[in-house]
């Protein structure tokens, strides 16, 4: 009987920064929580965030903040310590656009470390492109008088940062009746606009989960 391993209340295996929306991995059993927590500690879980920032982040050749990792050709790397600890963020621009008086960029961000407010601080301090709705790092733009060139109603709309995708090893499905065949991908049914894909790799089922971003993103993009 494995019911003693079931958590009375499901527990999150990580956290999202205040104001961030989107995916959060939650465990229903103690072994699953331990497994997911270990994956986060070992940095084997890949998280992707979608964000909108002010301005267009500059791509500067040979910029030391870009690091030396050629993880993907179309991704840039910020390798800038925070609070005396290593902090690495991959980023890329998906779209550049204008909203009223603001020049904005739609981004994807992949943190390789998990420092306090890492994505917000890297974009605001290193790239000088604070995220829309950031009450700490964009307050000079989003002032109360509306004269700073910020997005109108940004404070009311909240932070434009969404945990939109995550890739991780399923803590349980490593064979038996859940085996889908090595190298075979399976699409699972989800809510409209969301996507979950399983891929068996060497006996481990890798989960790829992606959701749509909140509707407020579309409101700025229109």
Task: Judge whether 103 and 56 are in contact, CB under 8 Å.
Answer: yes
SS3 content of the chain, % helix, strand, coil (to 5): 20, 35, 45
* Distance set, CA 81 to CA 23, 64, 115, 161, 203 (Å): 26, 12, 9, 21, 36
What span, in angstroms and rounded, lies between the C-alpha atoms of 49 and 23? 9
Task: Judge whether 112 and 43 are in contact, CB under 8 Å.
Answer: yes
Residue 177 is given by DSSP the state: G
Strand 26-29 relative to strand 21-22: parallel, antiparallel, unpaired? unpaired
Which residue in 208, 200, 198, 207 sits closest to 175, CA to CA? 200
Phi, psi values for residue 207, rounded to 5°: -100, 130
Q: Assign 101 to helix, strand or coil.
A: coil
Q: 33: phi > 0 → left, psi -120 to 50 → alpha, else beta; which?
A: alpha
Q: Hey, which residues are catalytic here?
A: 17
């Amino acid at each position: 009987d494995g019911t003693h391993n079931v958590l009375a209340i499901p527990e999150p295996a990580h956290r999202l920064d205040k104001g961030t929306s989107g995916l959060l991995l939650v465990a229903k059993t103690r072994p699953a929580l331990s497994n997911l927590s270990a994956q986060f500690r070992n940095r084997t879980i890949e998280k992707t965030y979608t964000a909108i920032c002010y301005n267009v982040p500059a791509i500067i050749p040979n910029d030391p903040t870009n690091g030396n990792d050629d993880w993907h050709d179309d991704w840039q790397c910020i390798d800038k310590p925070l609070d005396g600890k290593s902090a690495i963020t991959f980023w890329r621009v998906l779209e550049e656009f204008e909203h009223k008086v603001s020049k904005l960029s739609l981004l994807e961000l992949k943190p390789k470390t998990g420092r306090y407010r890492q994505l917000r601080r890297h974009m605001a301090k290193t790239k000088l492109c604070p995220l829309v709705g950031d009450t700490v790092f964009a307050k000079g733009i989003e002032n109360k008088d509306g004269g700073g060139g910020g997005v109108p109603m940004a404070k009311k709309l909240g932070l434009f940062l969404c945990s939109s995708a995550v890739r991780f090893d399923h803590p349980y499905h490593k064979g038996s009746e859940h085996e889908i065949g090595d190298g075979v991908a399976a699409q699972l049914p989800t809510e409209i606009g969301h996507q979950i894909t399983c891929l068996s790799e060497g006996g481990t089922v890798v989960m790829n989960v992606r959701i749509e971003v909140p509707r407020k993103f579309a409101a700025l993009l229109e």
